[in-house]
Copies of this chain bind each other. A is one copy, B any other.
């Protein structure tokens, strides 16, 4: 059994996708887990797939840690109730917004500052387009960022327990205060979600043959528009303050672009468009690379493959046998055709070697 930093037991309240994934991950580490959900079905599913033991709401346990895995709008209440019910437990929540929950915990008159010292807000940056306990997986947090927001009253011991949870689940620790967290996720997660939904909305009235021209660009821009409505309306409303300045900045850019396009041959129009593109280039280049490394352009090699079983396998096997690491791989989807292109990304220094290997193995490398 792998060693864990948490001693357990851990009580997970709310067995949706994230709570159940916490249970599965901790069970794999040998930590005892109790499960509780207002939905008997969700609780039973989480139990059935091995996320822990169901806990009757009247049962008396003394967990080391209580994890609140509930929607943002009920999280603060469940945190407060757990702090009162389990007077020796650390209580963490894993909701995507932190400021509004901390404000509510601080405003709850039932709690003493000694109670609040046992609360730590956290946010694992993991999720799926699916929701519910059946979509849970113990490895959901593996190598993903997990933000720990130690507030002013939080005790060192409780912060350490919260961090042990993230470490036991294989996540990467990020320490931030709640404001910094909320502004960071507004920019890197909530704003992209809102933008993707607004972009996808534009497709509602398009004619079907127009959408036949959709390529990877549009697909990438609208993928997260398929996300869960119920969760996101809460995230948006709880993080409104941090989202508004970002959306307003985009609105200014959009206003400027529409004005420019209303007179595309006017003085300064091309300069305005050039600025739009170059600012986008520069912003995109700031996103960190894999493994926290500086942004790095991988070398891209494109291979033509038949769309049938075994082709991708044979391709990747040839790359692997040459000892070249595959940094990324994308298949180009397009309508009406059975032949496909696969973009293979490798470190730039291995590019020529890769092309040689593939060509010698009979692959059609596009170039």
Contact = CB atoms under 8 A, between A and B. Distances in A.
B198 A253 contact: yes
B145 A213 contact: yes
Interface string A221-259: 111111101001100111010011011111101110110
Interface stretch (A8-16, A52-60, A111-119, A202-210): A202-210
A285 B325 CA distance: 34
Interface stretch (A87-95, A157-165, A268-276): A268-276
Nearest to A221: B192
A18 to B, nearest CB: 14
A243 B217 contact: no
What is the copy number of this chain in the assembly? 2
Nearest to A261: B240
B283 A258 contact: no
A172 B290 contact: no
B276 A198 contact: yes
B143 A337 contact: yes
Contacts of A233: 270, 273-274, 277
Interface of A: 49, 125, 128, 130, 136-140, 142-145, 147, 170, 172, 174, 176, 180, 183-185, 187-189, 191-204, 206, 208-215, 217-227, 229, 232-233, 236-238, 240, 243-244, 246-251, 253-255, 257-258, 261-262, 264-265, 269-270, 273-274, 276-292, 300, 302, 304, 307-314, 316-321, 323-326, 328-341, 364, 366-367
19 contacts: A130-B300, A136-B367, A139-B302, A145-B336, A172-B334, A189-B213, A192-B221, A198-B250, A199-B283, A203-B283, A211-B287, A219-B287, A225-B280, A233-B270, A250-B254, A289-B333, A290-B334, A316-B316, A329-B331
